[in-house]
C-alpha cells in the first residue's frame, strides 16, 4: 500500500513555530519517524508540504489511482478551504485529518473543519504523536477493508 502525508501552510516551520503549542520537533524529524514506521508495516510513504493551497490540491490530484490513503494536516486551510475538501472528495481516497494541537480547545474559528465530516477519523492534540496515531488508524481502517 502507498500512503501520502500532506502538510499545509506554516508546518514547514515546526520546531521553531510556537513550540509551546506545536512542540519542538521539526517536520523533517516527524516525516523521518513516520517513514520508519511505514517501512516496518510495508507501506510506502510519500511526504509533501506546501504553503500554497493550489499546490496541495495538485498533489492530491496526482495521487489519484496510485495512493491508497492520505494523512493530512492542512493547517489553517482546514478551517477555510472548501477547495481542499473538494479535492479530497474528488480524489475519493480515504483520509485521516490530524492536528498537533487540540483545535477544539482553541479559538472558535479553529473549531470548524471543512474536512472532518468526510474523514475516516480525526486525531488532534497529541503533538507529533498525532501523526503516528493517524497513521495507525488509517492503516487499520484500510487493512480491515481488504
List of residues contacting ligand DQA (CB under 6 A): 10, 73, 75-76, 78, 99-101, 103, 110
Residue 66 or 104 with smaller CB distance to ligand DQA: 104
78, 82, 83, 88: CA torsion to nearest 10: 70
For residue 143, the minimal CB distance to ligand DQA (Å) is: 26
Number of H helices, E strands in the chain: 5, 5
Three-state DSSP at 25 gives: coil
Question: Between 10 and 132, whose beta carbon lies closer to ligand DQA?
Answer: 10
Annotated catalytic, 22?
yes
- The answer to whether residue 99 is catalytic is yes
Q: Which of 22, 79, 111, 131 is catalytic?
A: 22
| Cβ distance to ligand DQA smaller for residue 1 or 116 | 116
Q: Which of 95, 99, 111, 131 is catalytic?
A: 99
Q: How far is the CB of 54 from ligand DQA (least distance, A)?
A: 18
Do 25 and 14 touch, CB atoms closer than 8 A? Answer: yes
Distance in Å, CB of 42 to ligand DQA, minimum: 27
Q: What is the 3-state secondary structure (H, E, C) of 88-140?
A: HHHHCCCEEEEECCCHHHCCHHHCCCCCHHHCCEEEECCCCHHHHHHHHHHHH
CB of 95 to ligand DQA, least distance (A): 14
Nearest residue (CB) to ligand DQA, 1 versus 79: 79
Question: Active-site residue numbers?
Answer: 22, 99
Amino acid at each position: 500500500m502507498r500512503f501520502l502525508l500532506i502538510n499545509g501552510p506554516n508546518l514547514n516551520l515546526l520546531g521553531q513555530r510556537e513550540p509551546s503549542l506545536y512542540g519542538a520537533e521539526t517536520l523533517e524529524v516527524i516525516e523521518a519517524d513516520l517513514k520508519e514506521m511505514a517501512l516496518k508495516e510495508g507501506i510506502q510513504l510519500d511526504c509533501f508540504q506546501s504553503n500554497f493551497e493550489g499546490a496541495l490540491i495538485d498533489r492530491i490530484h496526482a495521487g489519484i489511482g496510485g495512493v491508497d490513503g492520505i494523512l493530512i494536516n492542512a493547517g489553517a486551510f482546514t478551517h477555510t478551504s472548501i477547495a481542499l475538501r473538494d479535492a479530497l472528495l474528488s480524489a475519493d481516497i480515504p483520509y485521516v485529518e490530524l492536528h498537533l494541537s487540540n483545535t477544539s480547545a482553541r479559538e472558535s474559528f479553529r473549531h470548524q473543519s471543512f474536512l472532518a465530516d468526510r474523514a475516516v477519523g480525526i486525531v488532534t492534540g497529541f503533538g507529533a504523536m498525532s501523526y503516528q496515531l493517524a497513521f495507525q488508524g488509517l492503516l487499520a481502517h484500510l487493512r480491515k477493508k481488504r
